[in-house]
Amino acid sequence: MLNGYVFVVMAFIIESTWETLKNIVVKGKVSKDRIGTIIIALVVVFVGNLDIINFLGVNMSYGIGKILTAILISRGSNFTHDIVSLISNQYQYKKNNIEQ
């Protein structure tokens, strides 16, 4: 059974993915930097077998979790730190409430 925090994190991931993708083309111009970072992130994620969605306990078919992970990672270290902090805080909250 999925916990409530998974839905919050998934909503955050979906919104962040959309914000990243809509910035690929701005004012009719393709952002080579945005595409380049996404391609590099895709390579790293697939070679490293990284999947933040799977880590949350959600199994997605066709590598969708890895693609979303790559898009999130392509946003940079500050953003990635924020999402990892969100997940970590929710995990600690859950862990503390179970122990009590």
| Domain ranges within the chain, ordered by starting residue | 28-89
pLDDT number for residue 28: 92
Residue count (the chain): 100
The Cα 2–Cα 5 span in angstroms is: 8
Mean pLDDT per 10-residue interval, the chain, length 100 residues: 72 89 92 93 95 88 93 82 76 71
Contact predicate 69/45, CB 8 Å: yes
Cα 23 versus chain centre, distance: 16
Distance CA 85, CA 95 (A): 15
